[in-house]
Amino acid sequence: MAPPVVTSPRRAPGTQIHVLHLLTNSLPYTNSGYTQRSHAVLRALNARGVPVQAVTRLAYPLVVGKWPRSDRELIDGVTYHRLLPSFYPATVRKRHEKSADKLVEMVREQQVSVIHTTTNFPNAIVASRVAQRCGIPWVYEMRGELERTWLSRLPVELQEEAEQSEFYRLARAQETAYASAADAVVALSEISRAQLIERGVDAEKIHVIPNAMYEDLLDITCDQRQLREELGLPVDKKIVGSVTSVVDYEGLDMLIRSLTHLPDDVMVLIVGEGTAKPALEQLAAESGVADRVIFVGRKPTSEITRWYGVLDAFTVPRHDTLVCRTVTPLKALQAQALGIPVIASDLPALREVTGGVESYVPAGDAKALAEAIESVKKTDSGRRWAATRTWSMAAEKYELLYRSLM
């Protein structure tokens, strides 16, 4: 059990901003929506001239089975520090203490004025202690929460019962307590903000800074035929699909089932890896559409734009679960920036992240998804929406938030 959280009225002296981001994972060792957002934010803050560095959790990336190149790495101009202890404490409490001790040294040495961390609450335990000891404010960014991520991995029919479990209730209580104790809270959507307010977090300190995309995506024009030829894909078929983690809640089973309602010239492309892949391959075979489903696995970040560019439509057929109603994925916005039509489940988070300008179908309805695929048309509305959601705009909001804490 984490120690009690005490809100402090402290503020850092002076007006100089120097921000330290405490992260769970990071590039280049983990490539995910979490690490992509973190890196994009850090790059954009750097571009604005805001002094900012990052530090990853204790013993990362060793704890995920990867060897770091150094305890300090420079990636795209962003400095990442690694907390590499000579020994790894046996208990969670001791690991929190060691993390805090190491970070206090770094904060004082680097003259950090704000510490910024993200869910899950173990990060908040460490960040709040460091802030308290150093007399600086701290920011808690609510991304995917531990209990909701855990819930999303369970079969849908078990989720309602699991919400009443001791683990779920205690983890949720911890997240709420630390959000209430932070000097400021960042939410990724208005939906998330409203939920935090319902949980008792002060509305005045919640700042919505949504997922965004790099401005240069707006200038890219994809030659679909050429890309398909280069990647060995059919040039005369309609190809729809997703660049995603291949997990159950993404609803890729609905995408495969939709093929049974579509002409033979429609194919599905899935870029990514995950635990649901074997079951999806079996579903495709049992449904008689295995020859129309292409799994290409995970691709390097540097090549991802090419895989987006071969699609006639980008699909986000997520199931109607708590996490899917709340979490706003980056991938849909990236597709919009490239001018690719998006077809998504009609869930609040997906409407919000795509601006309500795309095609939406009832979650879990393969026939409705097929109808949307068949009628999809290319427009400029998605690209115009994406132009209002750039990382430089997000960085401006972060800077204003940090200055308000000074």
Kindly report, residue by residue over 267-320, the tens digit of the pLDDT.
Answer: 999 999 999 999 999 999 999 999 999 999 999 988 999 999 999 999 999 999
Q: What's the CATH fold of domain 215-386?
A: Rossmann fold (3.40.50)
| pLDDT score of 3 more than 60 | no
**pLDDT per residue as tens digits for the range 354-406:** 999 999 999 999 999 999 999 999 999 999 999 999 999 999 999 999 999 98
What does the domain layout of the chain look like in residue ranges? Answer: 19-212+390-404, 215-386
pLDDT of 5 over the 80 cut: no
- Tens of pLDDT along 252-275? 999 999 999 999 999 999 999 999
Can you say whether the dihedral through the CA atoms of 82, 397, 206, 204 is positive or negative? Answer: positive
Residue 15: band (very low, low, confident or very high) from pLDDT cuts 50, 70, 90? low
How far CA 165 is from CA of 41, 150, 151, 160, in Å, comes to 35, 12, 10, 10
The model's pTM is: 0.88
Tell me the C-alpha distance between 331 and 248, whole Å: 17
Check residue 149 and give its pLDDT.
72
Q: What's the chain's average pLDDT?
A: 93
> Do 215-386 and 19-212+390-404 have the same topology in CATH?
yes
Which fold, 19-212+390-404? Rossmann fold (3.40.50)
Quick one: how far is CA 155 from the chain centroid?
22
Q: How far apart are CA 331 and CA 212, in angstroms?
A: 10
- SS3 sequence of 135-153: CCCEEEEECCCHHHHHHHC
Q: Are 383 and 90 spatial neighbours (Cβ–Cβ below 8 Å)?
A: no
Q: Which two structure tokens, joined as six digits, stand for 141?
A: 């960014």
